[in-house]
């Protein structure tokens, strides 16, 4: 399905649901739907959580939409997306990532190169209630899948030469627990993926050695509720350094290596329908060969509307 | 090596925060009753709570037909007992109290929100509010009758 069409359909559903829902206040408690990750699923900024997006609780259907902009030292990443939450159990999401390669694109002979990736996500809550089961340490557990498609660009030939595909599927399981009495949220996600830099540099690699099988990568989030409307936290997302071997085989030394993603964030929800997240991100090195091995640190700003 | 160390430090920090707050919970619970203003504070809270419950269109239908004075008195006893105050809650258990009612999860959340607003109005600190909510939240299993 054409990603633009899919996005338009989902956004239309979201706005219809928003319009049909006469009440401004809907089912979930503030901030308990998480925010929207860079891949569109509900969670932190970088990592999917077991919470189901939107404000819908049991018996309800809700929707959310968001805009995110990330700026690091050498790159820019803009994301927009939407999600539907059904009965606080099922979540469907869509995200469109636009990665501005700036000087790296120029260095590769592709000035103005934007890498665009579409991500279609589905998540199912399997058990538990992250918020209300406060008398047990049992977390809320969900499993999810993300279908990722990297759009065609002038980089295709390079990716093919490295043996990287332009599409891939991530699978993950998340366990989320809000220690309500302490206002502390903990999340652990285990992801099976072949993605290079989240998929922006394709999936897997075969040049110089097979890096095309699924690997498990853990992701951790810790958040603290400062007040009803404000949460602060940090996330750490392990990334497998898949392209280094291929880069080496292509004569780039360790110029294609990658490193883990992490952030420190503050999320503010003035009411149940709007949330803003500001974060300092460190996306590690991204194509260090053309960026002087600079760590891609910078800002992350996201606005989400949910009903 | 460096990233493993960093992730370990992050995980340890998270666990340490959880651990220190868990360690502080036991003495904190004895002062939860004080934080809520003891009996007088709880009576004031429930007066305000009931007013808001009747004003909020989501909860009004459930509380209008109820014996509001009786419910307020029972809530005071229940919260007092939960907050380790000098009370023993002798009212109906949650299952029995809600069995005849149509309560959805959204109704439960609505009540929690109204309670949060009441606690805000009483000037009860956020952390104390969450400690009380943590004691109340498991009641969702018995209070919600429509799933």
How much is the ipTM here?
Answer: 0.84
Distance from CA of A29 to the nearest CA of B (A): 6
Asked if A58 and B130 come within 8 Å (Cβ–Cβ), the reply is no
The residue count for chain B = 147
Enumerate chain A positions whose Cβ falls within 8 A of a Cβ in B. 23, 25-29, 57-60, 88, 129, 131-136, 179-184, 186, 220, 222, 224-228, 234, 236, 238, 259-260, 262
Question: Which residues of chain A are modeled with pLDDT < 70?
Answer: 1-27
Phi, psi of A117 (to 5 degrees): -125, 135
Model pLDDT, residue A34: 86
CB distance B112–A29 less than 8 Å?
Answer: yes
Total domain count, chain A: 1
CB atoms B137 and A132 under 8 Å: yes
**Set of chain A residues whose Cβ sits within 8 Å of the Cβ of B22:** 182
Nearest CA in chain A to B22: A182
Angle at CA B12, nearest 5°, toward B7 and B17?
A: 130
Question: Using CB atoms, which residue from A183, A222, A238 is nearest to B127?
Answer: A183
The continuous run of DSSP H or E covering A279 comes out as strand A274-282
Tens-digit pLDDT profile for residues B48-102: 999 999 999 999 999 999 999 999 999 999 999 999 999 988 888 889 888 888 8
* pLDDT for res A260: 96
CB contact under 8 A, A186 and B140: no
DSSP helix/strand/coil, A17: helix
Asked if pLDDT for residue B4 goes beyond 90, the answer is no
- List pLDDT tens digits, range A56-95: 888 889 999 999 999 999 999 999 999 999 999 999 999 9
Please state the pTM of the whole predicted model. 0.87
Residue A30: its pLDDT value, please? 76
Chain A residue with the nearest C-alpha to that of B7: A236
A49: CATH: 2.40.160.40
Q: In this complex, how many residue pairs, one in chain A and one in chain B, have their CB atoms less than 8 Å apart?
A: 95
Is B131 in contact with A222 (Cβ distance < 8 A)?
no
Chain A residue closest to B12 (CA)? A222
pLDDT of residue A31: 78
Determine phi and psi for B121, rounding to 5 degrees: -65, -30
pLDDT at position A19 is: 43
- Where along chain B do its domains lie? 1-26, 31-143
Give the mutation candidate from B1, B130, B132, B142 for the A interface (greatest A CB count, under 10 A): B130
Which chain B residues are within 8 Å of A282, Cβ to Cβ? none
Considering only the beta carbons, identify the residue of B11, B17, B138 that sits closest to A220: B11
- Which of A23, A28, A222 is nearest residue B14 as measured by Cβ atoms? A222
Largest CA distance in chain B: 65
CATH topology (fold) of B31-143: Globin-like (1.10.490)
Distance (Å) of CA A303 to CA A24, A37, A223, A263: 18, 11, 18, 17
For residue B120, give the nearest of B109, B101, B133 by alpha carbon. Answer: B133
Indicate whether B13 pLDDT > 70: no
Q: Do B7 and A236 touch (CB under 8 A)?
A: yes
The answer to whether A46 touches A237, Cβ cutoff 8 Å, is: yes
Partner-chain contact B10 A234, CB within 8 Å: yes
Which domain covers residue A54, as residue numbers? 3-306
Query: Would the CB atoms of A225 and B13 count as touching at under 8 Å?
Result: no
């Amino acid at each position: 399905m054409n990603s633009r069409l899919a996005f338009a359909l989902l956004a239309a559903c979201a706005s219809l649901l928003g319009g049909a829902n006469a009440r401004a206040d809907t089912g979930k408690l503030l901030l308990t739907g998480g925010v929207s990750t860079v891949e569109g699923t509900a969670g932190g900024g970088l990592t999917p959580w077991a919470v189901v997006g939107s404000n819908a609780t049991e018996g309800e259907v809700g929707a959310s939409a968001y805009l995110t902009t990330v700026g690091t030292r050498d790159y820019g990443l803009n994301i927009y997306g939407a999600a539907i939450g059904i009965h606080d159990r099922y979540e469907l999401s869509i995200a469109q990532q636009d990665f501005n390669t700036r000087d790296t694109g120029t260095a590769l002979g592709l000035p103005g190169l934007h890498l665009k990736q579409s991500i279609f996500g589905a998540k199912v809550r399997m058990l538990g209630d992250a918020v209300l089961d406060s008398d047990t340490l049992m977390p809320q557990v969900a499993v999810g899948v993300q279908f990722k498609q990297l759009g065609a660009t002038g980089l295709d030939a390079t990716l093919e030469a490295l043996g990287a595909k332009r599409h891939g599927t991530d699978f993950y399981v998340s366990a989320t627990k809000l220690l309500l009495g302490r206002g502390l949220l903990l999340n652990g996600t285990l992801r099976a993926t072949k993605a290079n830099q989240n998929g922006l540099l394709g999936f897997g690699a075969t040049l110089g050695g097979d890096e095309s099988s699924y690997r498990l990568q853990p992701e951790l989030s810790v958040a603290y509720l400062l007040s009803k409307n404000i949460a602060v936290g940090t996330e750490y997302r392990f990334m497998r350094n898949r392209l280094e071997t291929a880069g080496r085989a292509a004569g780039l030394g360790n110029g294609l290596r990658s490193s883990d993603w992490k952030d420190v964030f503050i999320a503010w929800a003035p009411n149940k329908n709007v949330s803003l997240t500001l974060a300092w991100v460190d996306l590690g090195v991204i194509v260090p060969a053309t960026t002087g091995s600079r760590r891609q640190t910078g800002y992350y700003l996201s606005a989400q509307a949910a009903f | 090596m460096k990233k493993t160390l960093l992730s370990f430090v992050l995980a340890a920090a998270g666990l340490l925060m959880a651990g220190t707050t868990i360690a502080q919970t036991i003495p904190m619970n004895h002062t939860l009753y004080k934080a809520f203003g003891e009996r007088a504070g709880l009576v004031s809270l429930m007066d305000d709570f009931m007013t808001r419950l009747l004003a909020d269109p989501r909860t009004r239908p459930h509380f209008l037909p109820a014996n509001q004075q009786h419910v307020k008195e029972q809530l005071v006893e229940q919260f007092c007992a939960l907050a380790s105050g000098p009370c023993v809650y002798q009212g109906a258990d949650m299952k029995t109290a809600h069995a005849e009612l149509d309560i959805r999860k959204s109704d439960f959340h609505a009540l929690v929100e109204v309670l949060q607003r009441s606690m805000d109005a009483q000037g009860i600190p956020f952390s104390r509010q969450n400690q009380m909510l943590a004691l109340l939240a498991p009641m969702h299993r018995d209070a919600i009758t429509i799933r």
